[in-house]
Structure 1
Amino acid sequence: MPKRKQREILNVEDFCAAAAGTNRRRNNNATFSKHPNTLDTNKFERCFRNIWRDLSEDKKASFTFLDSLWFALYMKESLREKVLNWIKKECIFSKKYVVVPIVRWSHWSLLILCHFGETKSKTRTPCMILLDSLHMANPKRLEPEIRKFVVDIYNAEAKERPEKKPATSQIPLLVPKVPQQRNGEDCGRFVLYFTSLFVENAPKNFSTDDGYPYFMKEDWFCPQDLDSFCSRLRLEN
């Protein structure tokens, strides 16, 4: 993005929208979704924000989320510091769960950071959960980028967090087997539904000692549930 254009951006939302628009005009860029029937980043962001719009105060105290393009923008070295400054303002270490949409290689997946501001106990496990509706695409290939992202978040917050930070290399990245998409274009819709269901059903405290929460399974929801959810989104947006 030209420097002059960057100076004209007044806020995070405008900057994200401008970055998304610029990249969608580049035919050789595979970061953003391009399939004609796939949710574009603008509509995804609107739907994603609507999920959080009517959260109860209890939910707002436990959850926060990162904008849907922040991870993709973080991967651009020239924008990395700016993205990390945005993330610092979200106070993610005061939340039980941080929801991070990821779009890479024209595919959406969902990263959830659990109990990042806490130490491991019998009831709480600091961990990362990656929900992906296309396991055949090998979601673990994102792990190096995710771990670098997490390390940089910790380093960016070091001055504000005098306590000893946990060893990020020891925080597990979990990839549960969840319902899978039936075509090559539904990944964005799956991520929105993953988000909605996780926010609704997440346990008060997350621990891996007993395995994944009961709802995070291959039969977590059926195709008809997803279709109904998507229909509601279309009506509301």
Structure 2
Amino acid sequence: MNINMLKINPKTETEKIIKFIKKTLRDQGFKKVVLGLSGGIDSSTCLILLRKTLKPNNINVLLLPYGNKNLNLGKLVLAQANIPIKNIKVINIKPLVDQFKIKNKLRKANLMARIRMILLYNQAKKEKALVCGTENKSEHVLGYYTRFGDQASDLEPIIHLYKTQVYKLAKYLKIPSPIINKPPSADLWLGQTDKKELGFTYLEADPVLYLYLNRKLKGKEIKKKGYKKVEKIVKRVKTNQFKEKTPYSLK
């Protein structure tokens, strides 16, 4: 991978995101945000960015585990952000999810994401706050999200950054190393990882995505440059474009 291809200036990027969050809240007439914290790198990075923008009392954090998931990673970044205890809620979504008795893993995962969305927006309504999303560009263009689930939000601070760029930003923000070193996973079921589901890593995907989307190169041209799994990555982008086009309607 060309190391300069996805290069960012973390300091400049942080300042830009802080301005974006401030402007969005000001323009929409809000002072508070609600964030769903999984303890992963994306939500942890978003929390620290919010903390650099807002007072702790204006940040509400929900931890929404399925069952007895270890919350230690989430607690690590909460301690770093110094969020007041009264602003933190832990809700076990297992009783809600299990009522549906779904055996299919993907359907169950989608349900979990949508239940979390309901809880986040309910809290946002209570607090008169906006919901802060945690999507990165890699996940978004690959369609690696649940519509009306983890995709639902009011503002997205890092959706313009590819996953490998988020890692660079996270290191600059001093996100705890156990979070940075954890293999990317939505923790939807035991042993689930992004790599297993997607069939490639973000280190493999991001340069291909950049060349395909930003430089407008065709798959064959990217493949000639020596990148692997190009067809698989590009196919996933094309297959999931429908998520951006729905709902279908008469013009």
TM range (shorter): under 0.3
More strand by share: 1
Q: TM-score, structure 2 length as denominator?
A: 0.26
Q: TM-score, structure 1 length as denominator?
A: 0.28
Question: Relative contact order, CA 8 A, sep 6+: which one is greater?
Answer: 2
More helix by share: 2
